[in-house]
Structure 1
Amino acid sequence: MKEKKFEKLEQKVAKLNEEEIEIPGELPVIAMRSNVVVYPNTVVPFYVGREKSLYALEDSMENYNQLLFVVNQKDPKIEEPKEIDLFKIGTVVKIMQIGKLPDGTFKVLVEGISRAEWIKSIEKKYFKFKIKLLKSKYRKTKKLIALMRVVRDEMQKYIQYSRKLPTEALMFLEDMEDPDVFADLAASICPGSLEEKQELLEILHPARRLEKILELISKETELLEIEHQLDQKVKKRIEKSQKEYFLREKLRVIREELGGEEDAEIRELEEKIENDDLPDYVKEKARFELKRLEKMSPYSPEANVIRNYLDWILNLPWNKKTEELSDLKIAKNVLEKHHFGLEEPKQRILEFLATRSVSKSMKAPIICFVGPPGVGKTSLGRSIAEALGRKFLRMSLGGLRDEAEIRGHRRTYVGALPGRIIQLIRKAGVKNPVLLLDEIDKMGISFQGDPASALLEVLDPEQNKDFVDLYLELPFDLSEVLFITTANTLYNIPEPLKDRMEIIEIPSYTNVEKFHIAKDYILPKIFNELNFERKKIVFRNDSIKQIILEYTLEPGVRELERKLRTIVRKSILEIVEGKEKVIITTKKVKDYLGAPRIKEENRLKKPTIGVSTGLAWTAYGGTTLFIESILFPGKGRLILTGKLGEVMKESAQIAFSLVKKLCGEEFTEFFEKNDIHIHVPEGAVPKDGPSAGVTLVTSLFSSVKKVPVDNNIAMTGEITLRGRVLPVGGIKEKVLAAYRKGIKKIILPYQNRYDIEKIPGEVRKDIKFVFVNTIDEVLREALICEDKEC
C-alpha cells in the first residue's frame, strides 16, 4: 500500500512547484543523518529510506504543499533518533523533485527556503514539529561588502587547490550581491565538520557567518596549499626518476650497439662475485656496491671509487692458503743452509713446526727478533718462510708515522687505499704468508696517529682474526699469517706491543763465527751472484781473519760482506786483465783495502793510574770504553767531559761520593783542595747507560790513591752509595766486545753469573770471569797494590 501511495509523487511535485509558497507554523520533519546541512537558497539532494521519514514525506506532499522541515541528527549513527538527538535549528525546504530507486528508497531534491527553530513535537508516529521562522536583520555596509570580496577570493583559492569542487561553483558567487544569500551559498560549499556546518546554519547575521566561513576556508586552504607543494615535490622526483630510468635504458641500448663494454664489465663482476670462493658477508657487500655502480654514470668520480673498491675486495685471498710443509728434516736443512749458529731461533722454529704437525688449529706466534744490525734478522725471516713452504713478504716500519698505513684510509676521497698489511696480503695471493715487519722499534708518533697502537690489533692473536681495515670495512682473518718482527733494541717498543710478541734475542757474532760465515756463506753467495768460478780467487784463512780483526769492528757481518765484495771485484779486474788466478793473502788484503781501519788500541799496553776499562752496550752491539780521571789543585770540584748522558753523570756523582767514603776522613782536606776531572774519550760520541758505575769508582780511587789499574781487566756494573754492585744488561754483547779487544779478565756483578751461559764456548775458555757483590771486591781485583792494602 505504501509503495502505491508514492507512485504518483513525481507528477504532483511539478504541479505544486508552480504555486505560491506560504510557510505554516507546523511542518513534518525529516531527520538528516548525513554530514550534509541544507542552507536557505541552496538546492540539495538527499535520500529517504526510514519509515518515519517516508511518513513525513507523504504528509508533506498531501497536506503541506511540498514543504518540509529538515534538521540534522547530532549523531548520524543513531538509527531511531528522538527529539533530544536532533539539533534545534534546521531549514524549511520545498520539495522540487522525487525519484524512486530500485532498492525502495527515494531520492529527494529540495530547495532551502528559510531557517527555523522547532518548538515542540506534535506527532508520535513520525516527526512533526511546531516551528518558528528565523529571519536575519542587517544593513549592507562597506565592511560587509569587503568581507564578501575576501571570502570570494579565498573561495577561489580553495576551489583552485581542491579537486572536489568544479570551477563553475564560483559563478554563483561572482554574480551574487545579496550578503545573506551569498553567505548561504558560500556555506554550502565550505569545508568543515557537521558541528561547524551546523554552527554556520545557526548564525543569523551574514557578517558573522562570513567571518566564520573565512576562518574555515583559510585553514583548509592552507592545508591544501601544503599538500599541493608536497605533491609537486613528489611529482618532480617521480619525473626525475622516470627521466633517469629512460636515459639509463637509452644509454644501455647505445652501449649494446657500440659493443656493450660497460655491461660486459658489470656482467664480469657479477660472475666473479657469484663464482669466486668468497665469504657470504663479502658477497653481500659486493652485490650492494655493484647495484650502486649500475645506477651511476660510468664517468662519475664515485663510480671509479666503487670500481676500485670492488677490485680490492674481489681480489683478496679470503679463503686461499698455501699448503704448509711439515717435514722437520727439510726445514732444518733450510735453516742450516742459510745461517750459521743462531741455535735458539732455529730451535724455536722447529718447535713451532713440530707443534703445527700435531695441531693444525694452533695460532701462529708473533716472533720478534731483537739484535744489532747485520746479524741476519731479516734473512732469518726469509729462511723461515722457505722452511714452511709459505710466501714471504717484507714491510719496513722505519720512520712510519701515519696510522692509516696500518689501518687504511676511509673511502671519503678518490685516492683512498687499504693499509699496507692488506696490500701485502693481496700481493701474496694467500691468507697465510710469512709477513716480516722490519724495524718495529723505529716507528714514530705524529698528528696522524700512533702506528704502534694500530699494530696492537694486527699482532694480537685474540683480535686479528677479525681485523677490520678502514677502507674495506669488512673483517679479514689475519690469524693464519705468521708475523715476524725485527728490532735493534727493546726499550723503544711500547710495552703493550711488546707484550704480544715472543722475544728472541740474536746476539753479536764472535770472530770465530764471522770467520765461518765469511768462508761458508758470504763468499759462496758472492760467487753465485756474479756467476764466477770460485777456484780462480782463493781466500787464505789468515786473510779472512785479518779482514775481521783489522777492517771490521761490528756485531754483524754487513761491513765484512762489503769488504769481501771489494776484494772479489778487484781480483776479477786482475783476472780480466790477464791473470789466471788470484790468491788473497794478508799482503793482498792490504793492497786492496789499504791501511787497517781499526786504529784504536785493543787494550792499554800497561797498568795506568786513573784509567780503567769499562764495557758498554749499544744498539749496534757491545763496545769497550776507557774512563780517565786526574787530580789537580783546586776547590773540590768534579769536572765531567766526554758528552756524558744524564745517567752517567749521576753515576759519576755517586762514584765521587763513594770514593770519598772509601778513602776515609784523612782525605777530607785532600778532596777540599783538589779538583777531579773525569773524561771518557771519543767526546763526539754520546754515552749513557747504567753500567759504568764500578768503572768510574775504580778510575777515581786509582787517581786518589795513586795506584795503577790492571790493563788486562774490563768491568761492568752499577753501584749504590753504600758500595753494592748492581746487575746490568747486555752481558753477552759486552763480553764479546772485550773478547775482540783481547781482554782476558772481566769483572761482572754476581747476579749476572747465569748470563755467561749464553756466551759461545770458545769465548768462555779464553776469558776469566770474576763475580762481585761489593765495590771492595772490584778494587781488590782491579788495582795493582804492592802492599795489598790500597
Structure 2
Amino acid sequence: MSTGEPSSKSPPPSDPDTVPILPLRNSVLFPMSVVPINVGRPRSVRLVEDLLGRERAMVGVLSQRSPDVDEPTFKELFTVGTLARVVKVIRLGPSNYSVVLTGLGRFQLKSSLSLEPYMRAKIERVPESLVRDVELDALGAGLREATREVLGLMPNLPRDTAGILDNVREPGALADLIASNFPQAQASVGDKQEILEAFDVKARVRLVLAMVGRQLEVLRVKKEISSMVQEEMGKSQREYILRQQMKSIREELGEGGDEDEIDELRERIRRQKVPPEVDKVVRKQISRLRSMAQQSAEFNVTKTYLEWIADLPWSKTTVDRINVEDVRRCLDEDHLGLEKVKKRIVEFTAIRQLRADKKGPILLFIGPPGVGKTSLGKSIARSMGRRYERIALGGVRDEAEVRGHRRTYVGALPGRILQALKKAGTKNPVLVLDEVDKMGVDMRGDPAAALLEVLDPEQNSTFQDHYLDLPFDLSQVTFLATANNYEGIPAPLLDRMEVIDVPGYTRKDKLGIAREFLVPKQLSAHGLTEERLEFTEQGVEAIIDHYTREAGVRGLERTIAAVCRATAVKVAEGEDVHEVAGPEHVERVLGAHKYRPELAERTLDPGVATGLAWTPAGGDILFIEASKMPGRGNVVLTGNMRNVMQESATTAVSFVRSKAERLMLDPLWLKEIDLHVHVPKHGTPKDGPSAGVTMFAAVASLLLGAPVRSDVAMTGEISLRGRVLPVGGIKEKLLAAHRAGIREVLMPAKNRRDLDDVPQDIRDQVKITLISTMEEILPIVLQAPTRPPETSVAGEDEREEQAGI
C-alpha cells in the first residue's frame, strides 16, 4: 500500500465541529459501515492529499442530490451525512485515490465555510438514541427475521452472511447495516438518504423493514414461479420456462415487457384522439396482439400497423395565422415579379381566412422549370404558420405509392400522402405535389387516378389508404401541385384543380432577382463577401444576355456560382482578392459567349420567316425556311415536325396555291417546281398549329422574291378560309421575342385578352400588331422584292397594286 508523502498544506482544523467535506456522487455512507471510495475529482483529490499521513483523520461525507453535477457546491448536497474516519488511502494514479472510510455517526450541516482548496463546513453531530422498549425490540426482531429470510432465498450468498445479523444487537445499527448493503437496483440514493435522515430509530427501522419486505415479496414470487414450473420442466421446455420467469420478474419489478409495450402503444393511440370507428379497429387489433407469440411474424405486422396509427396526426393541428398582409409580405420577400400569381395566392388565403371549414380549391402551378413554383408553396406555408412537406411524384408509376400497399404484402407501407402527414406531425400542413405531369402508367396502376380522391375537396375527408384501410380526413390539408405543362396531366385530375400559370421572367425581373437573391446567396455559399467580389449591374446583364437562355433562373444561379468559384479558388490560395464582376471579368471567367443575339441568324433572303413557339421550358423563336427546285409539284416537309405542324405547313401551301392569281403567280406554278419547307434544329421535336402564319409568310416570301423583315416575328393558326385563329402561350412567346431583340410581333386578334398578362415594359418595347386574316400579313412583314416573282402574269404596275392580298 502506498500512503504517499505528507502534504505541505495546513492540517485540517482541530475543532471537532469543523471538518472537511467529501461529496459522494452515487452512494450513501452509513454509520458502522466500512466502504472503499474512489476519489478523482479535483477538490476531493486535494482533500485526500491533505489527509495523507495523518492518523485517525475525520471527514464529513455528504451525498449529492443529483449525480450529474461534476463539482457540486453545498446547494447540491444533502444536509444530513455521516462523520467518517479515514482508515486507509491507496494511490491508484497521479490524481486518483481509493479511500477506505468507516462511518462513526450522523451529523447535520450547520454552515458552509469554503469550497477551495476543498469543501469545509461546520457540523453538529446527531447522537444515537439507545433507549430500548418493547415496540423497538419487536421491530428489530422482525427486521432481523425478514432479512434472514431474504438471505435464505438468495443461495449464492456466503454461508456466514446470516451470522453477521446476530452480532448486531442495536435495532438502529442493524437498520443502518442492512440499508448500507442493499443493492442499488432495489434502493436508490434518495431512498437510502431518507433512512439516513431518520433520526428516530423506530422510523428508521420501519423504513428498512418496508424495503426488505418489497425485496422479500419479489423473491417469494420467484420461488413460487420456480415451484410451479419445476414439475413440467424438461429439456425442450427449459428456454420457454426461463423466459416466463424473466417476464414475471420484470412485471413485479415494474421493468415492463411485451405487455407494457402493448399498453404503451394503446396509450399513445388514446392520446391521438382517434375517431370512434378507428378506435374500434384498434381495440380489436390490440386484443389480437395480446394473444400472439412475440416470435410470430403476425405479431410484428400487427404491431407495426398499430404504431402507424399511433404516429399519424388524427387530431393534432397547428393554429392558422392567416393574414392577408402577412401573406403578401412573405410573397414579396421570397419572390420578385409574378404579380398575377401573387394576387391569386392572396385571394386564396383571404378565402381561407374568412371560411371556418378551411376548405378551398386545389391550386396547380404550371410553368417552365426554375420559375419558383415549389418555393411558392414554402412561402404560403410560412405565411399561414403551417408545416410544409413536399411529395415528389416525378417518375412514379405505381398506384401504391399514393394509396399504399395492402398489409398482406411483405414490406407493406402506407402511401406517400400519409407518410408526409406523419413527417409533418399535423393534419393541416401545406403539401406540395411536385411534378404531377411526370407520373407514368404501367401494369401496376395509374397513380394519377389514385390522386383523384386525394385532390377532390368533396371526397378527401374520408380518404382511405390501402395499408390503413381506415378513413383519414384530408380536408384540412392545403394541397398545392406543380407541373411544367398540361399534356401529362389527365383531364379528370386537371378538372379538380385550379390552374395558375407561372410564366418565365423578363430580363428586368432576372436582373432584380439576381441582385436581390441570387448574388447574396451565392456569395455566402462560397464564403465570399462583396469586398472580395462585387457584381456590377453590367456584369449580371452580360451573364443574362450571353450565358443563359431560359425562362427561369436556375441557369443564371449556376453561372453566378461559376463566377464565385473562380474567386473562391484565389482566396483559398492566399491571394488578397478584390475583384469586380463586370462584363470583361465575366467573359474572362466563363469564356466565349454561349449565346449571341438571334437577329444575327436572320438574313434578308426570301423564304425565311421568324415564328414564335411555346416549350415546357418557356417561349422560344422558330425559323421557318422555304426553298424551291425544279420538279413536279412535290411538297417536302423536314425538321422533325409532328402531325399537327405538318398539317399547318400543308394548309399554308394550299392557301398560297388558292391565292396564286392575287399573288400574281401562274396557277400552274407548282407543276414545274418542288417546294421544300424546313424547320431547323432537327433534334428537337416540334408540333402545334401556331406556326401556320409563319409558314405562309415564308412560302409567300420565297415565291414573291420579297424577304421578310428581320425584326418581325409572328404566331397564329391559319385556316383554309384565310382566318388567323388564336393560340396559347402568348406571354412566353412575347418574352422570347423580347430576349431575341424582336421589335414587332404579329399575333391573332382573338388573343387580345392575353396581353393583360404581359408585363408593361415588354409591351412598351415590342410593338404588338393584332391580325384577323392572312391578307393583313404580307403588307406588314414583306420588304421590297429583290427579284421578280415566279411566272408572273401581271406587269410591274399591276404587281405593285396587288402586292398585299
User: 2:576 aligns to what?
Assistant: 579
Shift in Å, 1:785: 3.7
Report SS of the residue matched to 1:534: coil
**Partners in 1 of 2:269 and 2:367 — Cα distance?**
46
1:390-433 CA distance string (max 9 Å, x none): 11101111111100111111111331110010011001100001
Runs of 4+ in 1 over 6 A off after TM superposition: 247-251
User: 1:655 aligns to what?
Assistant: 652
The code of the aligned residue for 2:688 comes to G
Tell me, yes or no, if structure 1 residue 598 matches structure 2 residue 600.
no
1:634-663 CA distance string (max 9 Å, x none): 111111111111111111111111111111
Does the CA-based 8 Å contact 1:615-1:692 persist in structure 2? yes
**Partners in 1 of 2:346 and 2:400 — Cα distance?**
35
1:71-102 CA distance string (max 9 Å, x none): xxxxxxxxxxxxxxxxxxxxxxxxxxxxxxxx
Shift in Å, 1:688: 1.0
User: 1:343 aligns to what?
Assistant: 339
Shift in Å, 1:609: 0.5
Trace 1:708-727 onto structure 2 (pairs within 5 A).
Answer: 708-727=707-726
The code of the aligned residue for 1:595 comes to A
Tell me, yes or no, if structure 1 residue 490 matches structure 2 residue 482.
no
The alignment-based identity, stated in percent, is 45
The code of the aligned residue for 2:759 comes to P
Does the CA-based 8 Å contact 2:341-2:500 persist in structure 1? yes
Alpha-carbon distance change, 666 to 738 in structure 1, aligned in 2, over 3 angstroms:
closer
User: 2:693 aligns to what?
Assistant: 694
User: 1:233 aligns to what?
Assistant: none
**Partners in 2 of 1:788 and 1:374 — Cα distance?**
51
Shift in Å, 1:602: 3.1
Trace 1:117-132 onto structure 2 (pairs within 5 A).
Answer: none
Alpha-carbon distance change, 475 to 249 in structure 1, aligned in 2, over 3 angstroms:
farther
The code of the aligned residue for 1:789 comes to Q
Tell me, yes or no, if structure 1 residue 376 matches structure 2 residue 389.
no
Does the CA-based 8 Å contact 1:301-1:414 persist in structure 2? no
1:641 to 634, 638, 660: 638
The code of the aligned residue for 2:558 comes to R
Q: C-alpha root-mean-square deviation of aligned residues, in Å?
A: 1.9
Shift in Å, 1:329: 2.7
The structure whose Rg is larger is 1
User: 2:502 aligns to what?
Assistant: 506
1:255 to 243, 247, 256: 247
**Partners in 1 of 2:717 and 2:548 — Cα distance?**
30
Gaps of 5+ in 2: 1-238, 786-799
Trace 1:639-788 onto structure 2 (pairs within 5 A).
Answer: 639-664=636-661, 667-785=666-784, 787=800
The code of the aligned residue for 2:731 comes to K
Shift in Å, 1:463: 0.3
**Partners in 2 of 1:469 and 1:330 — Cα distance?**
35
Tell me, yes or no, if structure 1 residue 464 matches structure 2 residue 460.
yes
Does the CA-based 8 Å contact 2:526-2:565 persist in structure 1? no
1:281-309 CA distance string (max 9 Å, x none): 22221111111111111011110000100
User: 1:107 aligns to what?
Assistant: none
Report SS of the residue matched to 2:765: coil
**Partners in 2 of 1:266 and 1:486 — Cα distance?**
42
Trace 1:312-331 onto structure 2 (pairs within 5 A).
Answer: 312-331=308-327
**Partners in 2 of 1:731 and 1:270 — Cα distance?**
59
Report SS of the residue matched to 2:481: strand
Shift in Å, 1:788: 5.5
Trace 1:285-684 onto structure 2 (pairs within 5 A).
Answer: 285-576=281-572, 577-599=574-596, 601-602=598-599, 604=601, 606-664=603-661, 667-684=666-683
Report SS of the residue matched to 1:535: coil
Does the CA-based 8 Å contact 2:358-2:476 persist in structure 1? no
**Partners in 1 of 2:441 and 2:541 — Cα distance?**
44
Does the CA-based 8 Å contact 1:364-1:479 persist in structure 2? no
Does the CA-based 8 Å contact 2:606-2:706 persist in structure 1? yes
Provide TM-score, normalisation by structure 2: 0.66
1:657-692 CA distance string (max 9 Å, x none): 111111129513321011111111112221111101
Shift in Å, 1:608: 2.5
Report SS of the residue matched to 1:486: strand
**Partners in 1 of 2:505 and 2:620 — Cα distance?**
13
Shift in Å, 1:271: 2.7
Does the CA-based 8 Å contact 1:603-1:711 persist in structure 2? no
1:347-370 CA distance string (max 9 Å, x none): 222223323332222303211000
**Partners in 2 of 1:687 and 1:600 — Cα distance?**
22
Report SS of the residue matched to 1:609: coil
1:139-163 CA distance string (max 9 Å, x none): xxxxxxxxxxxxxxxxxxxxxxxxx
Shift in Å, 1:604: 5.0
Alpha-carbon distance change, 304 to 749 in structure 1, aligned in 2, over 3 angstroms:
same
**Partners in 1 of 2:709 and 2:686 — Cα distance?**
23
Alpha-carbon distance change, 458 to 275 in structure 1, aligned in 2, over 3 angstroms:
closer
Shift in Å, 1:735: 0.7
Provide TM-score, normalisation by structure 1: 0.67
Gaps of 5+ in 1: 1-246
Report SS of the residue matched to 1:555: coil
How many aligned residue pairs are there? 544
Does the CA-based 8 Å contact 1:273-1:287 persist in structure 2? no
Shift in Å, 1:506: 0.5
Shift in Å, 1:601: 2.7
Does the CA-based 8 Å contact 1:434-1:481 persist in structure 2? yes
